[in-house]
């Protein structure tokens, strides 16, 4: 399975998301050849909006079987009096995936391996597939996680994507098993994704900046399908 994941972070208002979904629909519908390829091939385009917009995006794009919805994060907690938390239990049946352990959460919100482990357990309990982000070989791996996104901090949001050969080196260091899907994230965009993809070692991308633009993101889908 190939994955192309949009991580919009906290960078879009509701009206921008409305515009994004409208444009993305239009691009898919105007390109029937690519639409058929996306439908017939094992590829998932996973959109991860901020929590309040998950249902809207799902509703707007539910008729494309290759589009799935993910959360950018979920709570460590299962349920209860925890103002502001969004739990896996609440999102069960709405989302298929959740990003877990993004470096921005680790560095800005003090997320530790203990939190990450709890989040993975919540995902498992409520049928949500975790997409675990690791920054390097020092971050823990978890047997329950099938989708791994290697995201070097030096490359996230900087425009300085890591060389594909270095990414493959890291894949070896991480001892990624053949059952795992190995994704790359860090300034991946429509101009560089094919270079990774043709190595045959990278199963897709976790995309920040380039996913904010529906045309660029659509072009990435075009380049890897």
The residues assigned a catalytic role are: 102, 151
Per CB under 6 A, contacts with ligand PGA among 7-46 are 7
Under the binding rule (CB under 6 A), the answer on residue 185 touching ligand PGA is yes
In the complex, the smallest distance separating the C-beta of residue 111 from ligand PGA, rounded to whole angstroms, is 14
Which residues of 67-146 form beta strands (DSSP E)? 67-71, 97-100, 129-134
Q: Does 186 bind ligand PGA (CB under 6 A)?
A: yes
The 8 Å CB, 24+ separation contacts for 21-27 are 21/56, 21/57, 21/60, 21/61, 22/60, 23/214, 23/215, 24/61, 24/214, 24/217, 24/218, 25/60, 25/61, 27/214, 27/215, 27/218
* Closer residue to ligand PGA in complex, CB, 35/222: 222
Asked if 6 is part of the footprint of ligand PGA (rule: CB under 6 A), the reply reads no
Binding to ligand PGA by residue 157, rule CB under 6 A? yes
156 binds ligand PGA (CB under 6 A): yes
What are the C-alpha distances in Å from 76 to residues 43, 94, 111, 120? 29, 18, 10, 8
Size of the site for ligand PGA (CB under 6 A): 13
Residue nearest to ligand PGA (CB): 208
Q: Which parts of this chain interact with ligand PGA (CB under 6 A)?
A: 7, 151, 156-157, 185-188, 206-210
């Amino acid at each position: 399975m190939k994955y192309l994941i949009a991580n919009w972070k906290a960078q879009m208002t509701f009206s921008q998301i409305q515009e994004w979904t409208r444009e993305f629909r239009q691009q898919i519908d105007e390109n029937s050849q690519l639409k058929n390829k996306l439908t017939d091939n094992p590829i998932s385009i996973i959109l991860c909006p901020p929590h309040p917009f998950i249902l809207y995006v799902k509703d707007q794009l539910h008729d494309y079987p290759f589009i799935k919805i993910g959360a950018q994060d979920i709570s460590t907690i299962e349920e209860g009096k925890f103002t502001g938390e969004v739990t896996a239990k609440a999102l069960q049946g709405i989302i298929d995936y959740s990003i877990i352990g993004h470096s921005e959460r680790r560095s800005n919100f003090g997320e530790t391996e203990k939190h990450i482990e709890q989040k993975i357990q919540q995902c498992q309990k409520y049928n949500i597939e975790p997409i675990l982000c690791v920054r390097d070989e020092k971050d823990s791996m978890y047997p329950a996680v099938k989708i791994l996104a290697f995201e070097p901090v030096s490359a996230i949001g900087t425009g300085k994507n890591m060389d594909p050969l270095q990414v493959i080196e890291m894949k070896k260091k991480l001892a990624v098993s053949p059952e795992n899907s190995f994704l790359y994230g860090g300034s991946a965009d429509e101009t560089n994704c094919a270079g990774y993809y043709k190595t045959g070692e990278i199963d897709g991308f976790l995309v920040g900046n380039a996913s904010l633009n529906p045309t660029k993101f659509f072009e990435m889908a075009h380049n890897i399908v």
